[in-house]
């Protein structure tokens, strides 16, 4: 074996291992297996004696320095190989070679280390999906062979960890025993470890925490990448094996560690180290991994950091999972700005305490370098030029110096900053290092431009700015430049690497603080390498092992590979460092997708006995194969197989000539017991691929079926070229993809099938079609449904993209439960062709949904540093006036950290008793009569609504630990002005009008009002009157629709100049369960969480039974629960009764009750509130309450217990209309459709004045409450974002943008439901559910000319005086040409009293999308109504151009029933869809 030393910069260096002039070196000695010992089951001591017999009889020799040299046994192996490691001289080895049974002795190699956002980037989410299914990897043991560990790091906390499984036989070394716990269950060290498992390098701590670290909040480096760090398998156990030091990692130590790990009982081995590619029989890691795999242990190894060069991949044995590295969608951005104003982007984890935009002179370290091999690379000690002082120094990357060390050298020489110029091979791959001074790295191309600028001027200057963490790189995942590439030198017929995973700029645990913070153990670092990608895959393997404990290592590997992603976040092919589609030797099967790997459908399991004919097929000698297998082998007696015949999840066909090559594969069914798979082949160009059979039909789980693949060359060219394609087995639910690569004789190098390019016009559409009645009536198979769906794809399956590439329409998913339709990759032209087909309903571009914790901004699609948050700069500069119950000014949600001063137009004040409470976030505070002289909030409602609209980012927000995460308002950089008009009594109209009056003068942009009276005419409605004036001054007024649902005609605040907001649910539930004594269980919701879980059953008590006062006792009003029998029982209370749910609980607690079940009224359906109860309690539906009462009546001793499951995210029925949300039509103006829109209003977590869980030690207090009061500020925040992005938009335009882009489907792509789980009607949802991202770019808008409100109001038959009261001037309606309500230029239609005479109205739309654009109309006419639109096409030639269309509604039935029917009208261009809902009530 070779002999190497590797520096921890992770670059191969050639200088030798340092010795003390000794001739002794460590050899790994292979010997024949002692058959007699094996057959007699002898003890290990006998095996050790056998090994010792090989040592020379003379155990000492004299070294060249005159010292005695003793031959010493170091390790005795009994698992990974037959042999041992010993310190020997060359002469002693020669003597040993003469002994019977000796096989070989090779000098050990020194192997190198292949050096948190990642779980969420990988799709791992708390309490759902794979994390939930695998219980976060609970019970699985990951062995990490590395540089050791720092045991007291928070990432290795065992809080919530179970004890290790009974099979665990490992130890914590004696000097480390008290450092272990239920997370870190084992720790061993070896020779290079210097006697302790403690990590003095950092690499091992980083990799271990990446694989299985615990949740640690506030993880960051210089404040960058800030968030909660967590490993991929956070409940897995870790066993550490320290084999490395700063000098490297000896393969004798590695073998000893693997040997011990097998005995200890690990499930996964994670090895982020390696040498150079060598034959498998010489590769110690391959040997040890073979034995581990044979014992059921999956071995995950890094592919190496020698990319982007082909043939550089390491650890490529087929029994190893070989992992390449990819980027995240996170960048830690820094920018260098030159004196000529050119700017170049780089990355850096450095963050200055004070921003400094000073320009400094540039200095090129390579220019006039005293030592051209050191100075250009800024090697420590080489920067001796005094001219460096006070300058920004340009250094070249690499040169055997770590990037951070370069910075220290520059700092030591007096430099003030550094620019590192990467090598050309690095392309766009950059590292975000924790520098010791302002520094960043830039690409070679940008570096060349910087140097050109320096040569163009006598005074080159620059400044470096640090933008910090940016999330949302659509090119991610991208192959890292350093990631080693295939093909495998050891076995080119096995495609390597197998997979890629995150390995660039990974934040994980670190032994010390890189930003010099001495006051914390929560220390992290950001580093890069395939060393970082390997533990990600180790963690994924642990999750799969936990979920599928019977899966073999090969099955786990297959699941990971066949479900891998081949497209990036932009739905284009994964790119490499050149921004070109990455080849198959860079990506292998693709990028890991843990969720899909958990349910692969089929797996390729490899019979372990197949490795023998495979190894013989590599033309290894018997002895070489025997070394690997640890037994005698005679290959002449073995029927050898070619590499491509191994049952591997990929194909790598080498040198395909004129003779076809045929191979078989066997797949095992781990999906649906009864299932059918059809094959799809993307044949490489110049190759014909034939698969037999083309369909696999399974009838049971774990059934195995075999297919045959024949590869034939179809060209006569004699040039060598590599082409690739894929083979995919698809059922109704699974897609099992196998990559293929062929080396054949062809003229050109092509990809074998036309991948979509970066300029691709293909996008994913969700296509709805009519139900195929003939199939339904005949009970046809799903395959027939699939054929029906395929018939909608264009006959011409490919088109030519704008870049000249073929665009293939591709079916992605075929749905049969959630909807009638499918998902497909299509161009806009292909969609238009599809629209002509009979049965087509609609095709919508898919939305990319992001799930985070606390939670409404992410539920609304708002993501940091991208989309509408980025475009609007988080609402920066916009002022939201909140008219409510006041505010708590010192709450963290109203911190002004990072906030700019208020804009110059601001004229508001903070009242004299409140002046020192205001800041750049809370810029104004006034109180009115009912405010009792102070803007302080004594109720909580105002604090909650204000923080929902524009609260700052606050980490660790929760209630009793539920909904835990970062709380943030919808417009976090908007300013807040508070107007306190309410107290516990209510809110007086005079105060409300006074507040609106002040707000108009003060200069607010948005008014958020979560209050109202009952539905009354507008001329009597003071909110409508004040809102009219505000709207006239350009202020958008957002109001709640009321909480009187689900009854119709209950909506309030319905004036057409007001944005009227109904309430919807989130996809988050805070789940609790009541279990009865008969075993029945019923789900509810509750924000209560007990400190100690209690499964005790308590007797049930019905408060309504024999109630002393039937108007109070059933509702558990305070003072009404006087029955002493309540003590020690769980009490059933009815909801409502004008008693808050939390107050009911206090009454029960005061009466001695131990728990409470609140039964909702039947009209609330499935809507439930998660309240912060004062005792164990939950809310259940009326239907479930009836069953609980029936159980109580069935037994003399009814008992129950309440369990609390906490936060659950992923309800596909969301958003759903909340039961309490008031419904239309508007009583004041039924010809205007109300509410306008719905937004999140159920169980919303936001700021609160006090701690509801009695925590006296924090100001970070939150509560979870429900109501349209909560949905209104969400829409106020969205309006602020749109106002910031489009400051010239009027209130009507902002409202139109939100309404015409609203969602009408839920997360399951079904129509939005109401509390009955039925499709919600138009009076519940209005235009639909707000979609901020789409509202930011609506295409067309309906602006309402303000002068049109006068004819509209006159048309309502108001008197001149009534209209004058509203608009604050004299009006004579007889001189005004009045209009019907439906004629107002509103973004929706509400047609009342449609009789035999058609009704015609006009609308005018303004183009705010593409200057030159064409829109075609689509009409979904309500049943019994004909709708005609003229013209049917609108053609725009410039921005802000206005065009008018006419709509005629005609009744087509003779029915006289005044029923409500719904439809819509939609204008569609190639980029926008502008939808107006239609409600028709016939006469």
The residues annotated with a catalytic role in the active site are 146, 203, 531, 884, 941, 1269
**How far is residue 305's CA from residue 398's CA, in Å, rounded to a whole number?**
13
Write out the two tokens for 845: 């571009």
Question: Which residues are CB-neighbours of 1250 under 8 A, at least 6 positions away?
Answer: 940, 1261
Whether residue 1252 contacts residue 1263, with contact meaning beta carbons closer than 8 Å, is answered with: yes
For residue 132, count CB atoms less than 10 angstroms from its CB and return exposed for 0-12, middle for 13-18, buried for 19 or more.
middle
* Strands 141-146 and 268-271, sheet pairing: parallel
Secondary structure of residue 310 in the 3-state scheme:
coil
Peptide bond into 1182 cis (omega under 30): no
What CA–CA distance (Å, rounded) separates 1333 from 963?
Answer: 24
Q: How far is 1474 from 572, CA to CA, in rounded Å?
A: 27
443 — phi, psi (to 5°)?
Answer: -70, 160
Structure tokens at 200: 């003095």
Distance CA 794, CA 786 (A): 15
Give Cβ neighbours of residue 559 (< 8 Å, ≥ 6 apart): 544, 551, 597, 598, 600, 603, 670
Contacting residues for 546 by C-beta, under 8 A, at least 6 apart: 134, 135, 136, 137, 138, 139, 140, 233, 236
323 touches 501 (CB < 8 A): yes
Q: At what angle do helices 530-547 and 203-212 cross, to 10 degrees?
A: 30
Helix then strand then coil, in percent of the chain rounded to 5, is 25, 30, 45
The residues facing 979 across adjacent strands are 883, 926
Map 954-1004 to HEC letters.
EEEEEECCEEEEEECCCCCCCEEEEEECECCCCECHHHHHHHHHHHHHHCC
What one-character-per-residue DSSP string does 842-899 give? Answer: EEEEPP-----SS-HHHHTT--TTSHHHHHTGGGTT-EEEEEES-B-TTSGGG--TTP
Question: Is the separation of the CB atoms in 1342 and 1447 below 8 Å?
Answer: no
1266 touches 1218 (CB < 8 A): yes
d(CA 627, CA 411): 52
User: Is the distance from CB of 116 to CB of 65 less than 8 angstroms?
Assistant: no
* Contact call for residues 1271 and 1281 (beta carbons, < 8 A): no
Which strand ranges, in their side-by-side order, compose the sheet holding 244-245?
A: 244-245, 248-250, 110-113, 273-274
Contact by Cβ (8 Å): 1168, 1180: yes
Residue 650: name the closest of 710, 581, 736, 715 by CA: 736
What are the phi and psi torsion angles at 921 (to 5°)? -90, -60
| Residue of 405, 350, 347, 413 whose CA lies nearest to 377 | 405
Peptide bond before residue 219 is cis, with ω within 30 degrees of 0: no
Sort strands 687-692 and 704-713 into parallel, antiparallel or unpaired.
antiparallel
The neighbour count for residue 411, using CB atoms within 10 Å, is 19
Closest to 1125 (Cα-Cα) out of 1110, 1115, 1113, 1136 = 1113
């Amino acid at each position: 074996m070779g002999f190497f030393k590797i520096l921890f910069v992770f670059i191969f260096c050639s200088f030798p291992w340092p010795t003390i002039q000794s001739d002794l070196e460590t050899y790994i000695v292979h010997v024949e297996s002692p058959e007699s010992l094996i057959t007699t089951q002898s003890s290990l001591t006998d095996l050790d004696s056998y090994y010792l017999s090989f040592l020379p009889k003379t155990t000492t020799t004299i070294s060249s320095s005159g010292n005695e040299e003793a031959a010493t046994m170091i390790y005795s192996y009994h698992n990974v190989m037959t042999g041992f490691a010993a310190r020997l001289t060359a002469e002693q080895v020669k003597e040993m070679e003469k002994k019977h049974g000796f096989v070989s002795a090779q000098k050990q190699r020194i192997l190198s280390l292949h050096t948190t956002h990642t779980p969420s980037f990988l799709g791992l989410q708390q309490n759902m999906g794979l994390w939930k299914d695998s219980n976060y990897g609970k019970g699985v043991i990951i062995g990490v062979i590395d540089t050791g560990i720092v045991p007291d790091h928070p990432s290795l906390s065992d809080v919530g960890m179970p004890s290790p499984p009974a099979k665990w036989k490992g130890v914590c070394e004696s000097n480390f025993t008290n450092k272990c716990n239920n997370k870190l269950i084992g720790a061993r060290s070896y020779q290079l470890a210097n006697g302790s498992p403690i990590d003095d390098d950092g690499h091992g701590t980083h990799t271990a925490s990446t694989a299985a670290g615990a949740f640690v909040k506030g993880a960051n480096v210089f404040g960058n990448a800030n968030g909660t760090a967590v490993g991929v398998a956070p409940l897995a156990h870790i066993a550490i094996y320290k084999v490395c030091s700063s000098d490297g990692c000896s393969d004798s130590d590695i073998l000893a560690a693997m040997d011990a790990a097998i005995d200890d009982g690990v499930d996964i081995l994670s090895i982020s180290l390696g040498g150079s590619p060598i034959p498998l029989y010489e590769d110690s890691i391959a040997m040890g991994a073979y034995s581990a795999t044979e014992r059921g242990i999956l071995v995950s190894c890094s592919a190496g950091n020698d990319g982007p060069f082909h043939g550089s991949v390491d650890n490529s044995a087929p029994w190893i999972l070989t992992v390449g590295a990819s980027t995240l969608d996170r960048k830690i951005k820094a920018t260098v700005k030159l004196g000529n104003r050119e700017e170049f982007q780089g990355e850096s984890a450095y963050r200055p305490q004070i921003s400094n935009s000073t320009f400094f002179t540039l200095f090129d370290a390579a220019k006039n370098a005293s030592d051209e091999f050191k100075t250009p690379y800024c090697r420590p000690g080489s920067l001796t030029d005094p001219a460096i002082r006070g300058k920004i120094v340009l250094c070249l990357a690499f040169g055997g110096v770590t990037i951070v060390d370069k910075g220290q050298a520059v700092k030591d020489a007096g430099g003030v900053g550094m620019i590192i110029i990467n090598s050309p091979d690095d392309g766009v791959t950059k590292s975000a290092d924790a520098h010791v001074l302002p520094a960043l790295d830039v690409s070679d191309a940008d570096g060349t431009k910087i140097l050109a600028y320096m040569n163009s001027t006598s005074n080159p200057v620059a400044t470096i700015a640090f933008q910090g963490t940016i999330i949302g790189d659509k090119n991610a995942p991208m192959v890292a430049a350093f990631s080693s590439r295939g093909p495998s030198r050891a076995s080119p017929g096995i495609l390597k690497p197998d997979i890629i995973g995150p390995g660039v700029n990974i934040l994980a645990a670190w032994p010390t603080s890189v930003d010099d913070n001495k006051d914390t153990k929560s220390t992290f670092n950001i580093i890069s390498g395939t060393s970082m990608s390997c533990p990600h895959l180790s963690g994924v393997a642990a999750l799969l092992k936990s979920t599928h404990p019977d899966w073999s290592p090969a099955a786990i590997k297959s699941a990971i590979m066949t479900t891998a992603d081949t497209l990036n976040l932009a739905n284009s092919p994964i790119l490499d460092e050149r921004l070109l589609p990455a080849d198959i030797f860079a990506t292998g099967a693709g990028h890991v997708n843990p969720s899909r790997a958990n349910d692969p459908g089929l797996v390729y399991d490899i019979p372990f006995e197949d490795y023998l004919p495979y190894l013989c097929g590599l033309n290894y000698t018997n002895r070489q194969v025997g070394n690997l297998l640890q037994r005698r082998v005679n290959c002449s007696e073995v029927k050898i197989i070619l590499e491509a015949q191994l049952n591997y999840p990929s194909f790598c066909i080498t040198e395909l000539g004129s003779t076809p090559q045929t191979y078989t594969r066997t797949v095992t069914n781990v999906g649906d017991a009864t299932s059918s798979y059809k094959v799809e082949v993307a044949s490489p160009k110049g190759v014909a691929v034939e698969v037999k059979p083309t369909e696999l039909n399974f009838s049971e789980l774990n059934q195995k079926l075999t297919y045959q693949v024949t590869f034939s060359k179809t060209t006569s060219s004699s040039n060598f070229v590599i082409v690739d394609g894929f083979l995919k087995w698809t059922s109704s639910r699974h897609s099992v993809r196998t990559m293929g690569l062929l080396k054949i004789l062809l003229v050109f190098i092509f990809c074998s099938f036309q991948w979509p390019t970066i300029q691709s016009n293909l996008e994913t559409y969700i296509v709805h079609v009519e139900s195929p009645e003939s199939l339904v009536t005949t009970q046809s198979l799903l395959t027939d449904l699939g054929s029906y769906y395929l018939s909608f794809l264009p006959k011409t399956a490919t088109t030519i993209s704008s870049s000249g590439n073929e665009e293939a329409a591709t079916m992605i998913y075929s749905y049969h439960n959630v909807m009638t339709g499918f998902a497909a990759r299509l161009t806009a032209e292909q969609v238009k062709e599809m629209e002509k087909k009979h049965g087509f309903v609609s095709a919508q571009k898919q939305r990319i949904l992001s799930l985070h914790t606390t939670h409404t901004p992410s539920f609304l699609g708002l993501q940091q540093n991208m989309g509408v948050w980025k475009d609007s700069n988080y609402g920066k500069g916009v002022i939201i006036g909140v008219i409510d119950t006041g505010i708590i000014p010192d709450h963290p949600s109203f911190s002004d950290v990072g906030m700019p001063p208020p804009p110059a137009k601001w004229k508001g004040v903070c009242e004299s008793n409140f002046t020192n409470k205001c800041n750049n976030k809370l810029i104004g505070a006034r109180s009115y009569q009912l405010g009792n002289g102070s803007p302080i909030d004594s109720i909580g409602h105002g604090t909650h609504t204000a923080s929902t609209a524009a609260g700052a980012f606050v980490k660790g927000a929760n209630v009793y630990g539920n909904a835990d995460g970062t709380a943030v308002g919808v417009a976090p950089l908007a300013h807040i002005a508070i107007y306190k008009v309410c107290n516990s009594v209510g809110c007086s109209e005079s105060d409300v009008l006074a507040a609106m009056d002040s707000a108009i003068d003060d200069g607010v942009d948005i008014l958020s009002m979560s209050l109202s009276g009952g539905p009354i005419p507008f001329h009597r409605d003071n909110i409508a009157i004040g809102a009219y004036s505000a709207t006239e001054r350009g202020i958008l007024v957002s109001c709640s629709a009321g909480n009187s649902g689900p009854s119709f005609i209950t909506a309030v605040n319905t004036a057409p100049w007001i944005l009227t907001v109904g309430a919807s649910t989130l996809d988050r539930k805070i789940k609790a369960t009541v279990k009865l004594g008969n075993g029945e269980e019923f789900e509810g919701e509750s924000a209560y969480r007990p400190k100690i879980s209690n499964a005790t059953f308590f007797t049930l008590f019905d408060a309504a039974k024999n109630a002393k006062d039937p108007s109070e006792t059933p509702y558990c009003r305070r003072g009404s629960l006087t029955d002493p029998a309540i003590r020690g029982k769980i009490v059933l209370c009815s909801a409502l009764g004008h008693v808050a749910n939390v107050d009911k609980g206090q009454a029960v607690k005061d009466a001695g009750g131990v728990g409470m079940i609140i039964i909702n009224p039947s009209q609330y359906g499935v809507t439930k509130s998660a309240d912060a109860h004062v005792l164990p309690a939950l809310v259940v539906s009326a239907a479930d309450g009836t069953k609980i009462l029936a159980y109580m009546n069935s037994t003399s001793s009814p008992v129950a217990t309440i369990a609390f499951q906490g936060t659950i995210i992923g309800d596909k029925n969301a958003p759903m209309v909340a039961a309490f949300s008031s419904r239309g039509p508007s009583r004041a103006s039924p010809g205007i459709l109300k509410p306008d829109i719905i937004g999140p209003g159920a169980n919303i977590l936001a700021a609160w004045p006090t701690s509801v869980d009695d925590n006296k030690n924090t100001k970070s207090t939150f509560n979870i409450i429900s109501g349209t009061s909560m949905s209104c500020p969400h829409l106020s925040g969205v309006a602020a974002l749109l106002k910031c992005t489009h400051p010239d938009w009027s209130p009507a335009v902002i409202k139109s943008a939100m309404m015409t882009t609203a969602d009408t489907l839920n997360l399951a792509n079904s129509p939005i439901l109401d509390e009955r789980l039925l499709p919600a009607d138009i009076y519940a949802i209005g235009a639909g559910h707000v979609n901020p991202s789409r509202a930011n770019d609506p295409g067309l808008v309906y602006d309402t000319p303000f002068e049109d409100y006068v004819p509209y109001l006159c048309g309502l038959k108001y008197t001149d005086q009534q209209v004058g009261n509203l608009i604050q001037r004299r009006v004579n309606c007889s001189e005004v040409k009045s209009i019907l309500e439906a004629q107002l230029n509103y973004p929706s239609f509400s047609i009342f009293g449609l009789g035999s005479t058609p009704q015609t109205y006009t609308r005018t739309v303004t183009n705010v999308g593409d200057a030159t654009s064409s829109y075609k109309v689509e009409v979904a006419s309500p049943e019994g109504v004909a709708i005609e639109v003229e013209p049917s096409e609108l053609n725009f030639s410039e921005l802000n151009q206005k065009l008018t269309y006419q709509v005629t509604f005609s009744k087509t039935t003779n029915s006289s029933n005044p029923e409500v029917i719904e439809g819509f009208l939609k204008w569609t261009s190639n980029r926008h869809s502008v939808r107006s809902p239609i409600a028709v009530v016939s006469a």
